[in-house]
Every structure is written in C-alpha cells, then in structure tokens.
Amino acid sequence: MQISGHGRTHELANLLLGVQETERPSQSKAKATDSQQDQVDISDYAKEMARIKALALQSDPARDERVEKIRQAIDGGTYTINGRTAADALIRHALTEAVL
C-alpha cells in the first residue's frame, strides 16, 4: 500500500502513526496570541472528598494502641470474645452502612 499524501488515506495514516502536520512560523505566532490559558476548576465535592481522604489516612494513636493490645492478646492466647458481642457489632455495622 502506498500513501500519496492526499485524501482520506493520508488522514488515516496521520491518525494511526501519530503524525501531525507542521505549521508555518507565521501560523504558530497567530495561534499563540489568540489562544487562552487552560483553566481547571475543582468542584466543592472533589475538595471535600480530598479532605476526607486526608483525614482517613491520618494515624489515630488511640486506635493504634487498641489494635496493638488486641494483637498482643491474640499472640499470647489470652484474647477472648463473646459471640453475641461480635454478632451485635456486625449487625450494627451492617445497619449503619445501609443507612449511609
């Protein structure tokens, strides 16, 4: 197949090969003066999500301490839990998640 540089095959070749037409210097100057700067607007929702994510990633020393105590109790074989207490916590968690 030969691409002559004319017609639809030339356009297709440019798209497939990523070839861009070169501009003349006078054209690029005209475009530069007429173009506007890009602008990004971040929604309030996105800002709030970023804030919540940052809070979630922060370390909580009290929680870390409780987790470490539980880990030590499990390793030492002294950790016991009431089945009813665990079931109540699971149900409470499931109901809370369903409401949110």
9-44: per-residue pLDDT in tens?
A: 667 667 777 665 555 555 555 555 556 788 889 999
Q: Per the domain annotation, does 57 fall within a domain? A: yes
Residue 96 pLDDT class (50, 70, 90 cuts): confident
Is the separation of the CB atoms in 20 and 14 below 8 Å? yes
Amino acid in position 89 = A
Q: Per the domain annotation, does 63 fall within a domain? A: yes
Whole-model pTM: value is 0.36
- Taking the CA atoms of residue 42, residue 44, residue 46 and residue 47 in that order, the dihedral angle to the nearest 10 degrees is 90
| Number of separate domains in the chain | 1
Q: Per the domain annotation, does 19 fall within a domain? A: no
Range of the domain at 83: 44-99
